[in-house]
Structure 1
């Protein structure tokens, strides 16, 4: 007797690749918006490295938008993972960026989990 290979799991989605890509792009877009909204409180707070923290927030927001637009490429998923690390590293400039970094790293970990479950 030959064993038949198990059928691939069906997610019930018409286009699972597109759905996962949309989830990743949407998450990165929300992250970019939150980073841009973080500029106002950073500008009000008088801290030693406020200018650098604002520049980092803008640069990371731009990077998030670029990555959201390139989610069709496999490297964009890796780049978005690196983005979460960079945001946590930006916490050295201001603690609030570290908090955002941890929050979005957890969200991104969930996105990667959903991607693995749906696409295998």
Structure 2
């Protein structure tokens, strides 16, 4: 048992690494889903402009770059900004807003897990 002055132990060998992996995995999954969603959105969702496709590709590239930078202290903030940009891309097409809501919730959960594990 730990006393009130002792830090809580998560049971993980390297909590920092586990949390970085969670953030990187979340962003990598987001990038993959964004890239794979382009064609179904075009076919089913209707008019997806070239600008919207460019925005999706740019967001996916940014997600991959941020996933690779998760060791940097600012990467979690950049990931949060990325979620906001994805939500804003909903102005280009409604389905991008839906993806933005889903990934914002997933990112919020990852940030919550980070706070619980690292304190």
What is the TM-score of this pair, normalised by structure 1? 0.92
1:40 aligns with 2:39: yes
How many residues were matched structurally?
116
CA distance in 1, matches of 2:70, 2:113: 15
CA distance in 1, matches of 2:116, 2:46: 45
Alignment partner, residue 19 of structure 1: 18
1:1-120 equivalence runs, <5 A: 6-44=5-43, 45-47=45-47, 50-120=49-119
SS where residue 61 of structure 2 aligns? helix
Q: Give yes or no for contact 1:29–1:68 (8 Å, CA) kept in 2.
A: yes
CA distance in 2, matches of 1:111, 1:5: 26
Moved more, 38-47 or 92-101: 38-47
Q: Give yes or no for contact 1:42–1:50 (8 Å, CA) kept in 2.
A: no
Q: Give yes or no for contact 1:28–1:64 (8 Å, CA) kept in 2.
A: yes
Which structure would you say has the larger Rg? 1
Unaligned runs of 5+ in 2: none
SS where residue 38 of structure 1 aligns? helix
Shift of 1:42: 3.1
CA distance in 1, matches of 2:109, 2:46: 34
Unaligned runs of 5+ in 1: none
